């Protein structure tokens, strides 16, 4: 892969669908509940500490952040869901923006992969399963990514795998187990991204 990861920057923090980049370079989106570790994973993949903002106040910013990686791929940090303290108006903004991205995005063909994040400590939540079901219905290519894997011991890792296999919406799907802290799973995830985007 010939990507200069030092050449990565925030292209736009989009609060409206019309602000999504129109150029046709491949996009990889990161979806998941608030606090699951989307921004941390993006930083880890790019070997950066704080390019993607790791939230002090989770769930508050409802924007879709597009990171331009060396002009060859966009990483798309989607706003998290499942944040209990959101107002109704904030919740509606989340829905409109997310739907704008997945179902009425003129550039949807550029979205080559969605990484659906799941916290490995909890397994898929009800909201995660709704999101997976939604993604399934849109026909988007997506994989599961387990986050915070460093927090699990061997027994808990085994248990997590069992929970995934027992869940019909997850069983049989590729799942890359990652830690933004230790870097575990990064190479495997990059390989999947490179393959999907033809990098």
Residues 25-64 that bind Mg ion (CB under 5 A): 38-39, 55
The tokens for 46 are 């790019």
Q: Between 55 and 138, whose beta carbon lies closer to Mg ion? A: 55
Task: Name which of ligand GTP, Mg ion, none residue 36 binds, using a CB cut-off of 5 to 8 Å depending on partner kind.
Answer: ligand GTP
Q: Between 75 and 164, whose beta carbon lies closer to Mg ion? A: 75
With CB under 6 A as the contact rule, the residue among 3, 128, 148, 176 that binds ligand GTP is: 148
Task: Name which of ligand GTP, Mg ion, none residue 35 binds, using a CB cut-off of 5 to 8 Å depending on partner kind.
Answer: ligand GTP
Kindly report the three-state secondary structure assignment for every residue of 124-188.
CCHHHHHHHHHHHHHCCCEEEEEECHHHCCHHHHHHHHHHHHHCCCCCCCCEEECCCCCCCCHHH
Beta-sheet pairing, 64-69 with 73-77: antiparallel
- Is 35 near ligand GTP (CB under 6 A)? yes
SS3 at position 118: strand
Q: Between 55 and 107, whose beta carbon lies closer to ligand GTP? A: 55
Contact 147, 176 (CB under 8 A): no
Complete DSSP assignment for 2-19: ---TTSEEEEEEESSGGG
Question: What CA–CA distance (Å, rounded) separates 133 from 54?
Answer: 27
- Is 32 near ligand GTP (CB under 6 A)? yes
- Is 38 near ligand GTP (CB under 6 A)? yes
Interface map 60-89 toward ligand GTP (x if CB under 6 A) = --------------------x---------
Binding site for Mg ion (CB under 5 A): 38-39, 55
Which residues form the interface with ligand GTP (CB under 6 A)?
32, 34-40, 54-55, 58-59, 80, 147-148, 150-151, 179-181
């Amino acid at each position: 892969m010939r990507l200069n990861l030092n050449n990565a920057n925030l292209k736009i923090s989009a609060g409206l669908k019309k602000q999504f980049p129109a150029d046709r370079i491949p996009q990889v989106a990161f979806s998941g509940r608030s606090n699951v570790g989307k921004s941390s994973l993006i930083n880890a993949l790019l070997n950066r500490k704080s390019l993607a903002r790791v939230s002090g106040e989770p769930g508050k910013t409802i924007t879709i952040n597009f990171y331009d990686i060396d002009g060859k791929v966009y990483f798309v940090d989607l706003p998290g869901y499942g944040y209990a303290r959101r107002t109704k108006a904030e919740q509606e903004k989340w829905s409109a923006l997310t739907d704008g991205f997945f179902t009425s995005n003129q550039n949807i063909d550029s979205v080559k992969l969605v990484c659906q994040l799941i916290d490995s400590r909890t397994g898929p939540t009800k909201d995660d399963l709704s999101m997976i079901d939604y993604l399934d219905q849109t026909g988007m290519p997506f994989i599961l990514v387990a986050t915070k894997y460093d927090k699990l011991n061997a027994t808990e890792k085994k248990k997590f795998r069992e929970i995934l296999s027992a869940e019909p919406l997850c069983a049989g799907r590729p799942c890359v187990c990652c830690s933004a802290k230790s870097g575990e799973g990064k190479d495997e995830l990059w390989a999947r991204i490179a393959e999907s985007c033809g990098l």
